[in-house]
Structure 1
Amino acid sequence: MAIFTQEDLLLYLYKETSLAQNEAIEAALKNDWELQEKLATLKESITLLDQPLESPRMEVVLNVLNYAREAVETGA
């Protein structure tokens, strides 16, 4: 049985593997639960990365602006 790295699985997810590599990975996935878990974790990570970032609270933005203004006024 071939050993597949996370890089191999990422290439597989992004459809950048050859037909032979696809077949080998898919055959390994049928029998190797650990590889299935690695693939599921990568899929979840990709899904999380595709989500838009949340905006900071207005209070945080105002605190940063106030800090910057005070720094300019004091010459720091």
Structure 2
Amino acid sequence: MSDFTPEDLILYLYGETDNEKTARIKAALDCSWALREKLSVLKTSMDRLDKAPLQSPSAAVLDNILAYARAKSKVVP
């Protein structure tokens, strides 16, 4: 079995692998039940993330981010 990282499989799911890697992953999926299971878990996670409701951050979180950015952007003499 070829060793594909979870990152490789995520790129494959999003159609961002090159033709060679896509072909290698498809061939490995035909031969490896374990790889198909890994891909299935990632696909399920991807589908759940796509359906998750988006929420805006609270005002306190935004204030903390802005305060941090201001503090980091000050030039030290």
Report the equivalent of 1:59: none
- In structure 1, the residue matched to 2:43 is 43
Q: Give the share of equivalent positions with the same residue, in percent.
A: 47
Q: Counterparts in 2 of 1:1-76, with a 5 A limit?
A: 1-53=1-53
SS, match of residue 50 in structure 1: helix
Q: CA RMSD in A?
A: 1.7
Q: Unaligned regions of 5+ residues in structure 1, if any?
A: 56-76
CA distance in 2, matches of 1:52, 1:38: 21
TM-score, normalization: structure 2?
Answer: 0.65
What CA distance in whole angstroms lies between the structure 1 residues aligned with 2:54 and 2:16? 31
1:39-61, CA deviations, whole angstroms, 9 ceiling, x for partnerless residues? Answer: 00000001111114399xxxxxx
Q: TM-score, normalising length from structure 1? A: 0.66
Structure-2 separation of matches of 1:50 and 1:15? 16
Report the structure number with the largest CA radius of gyration: 1
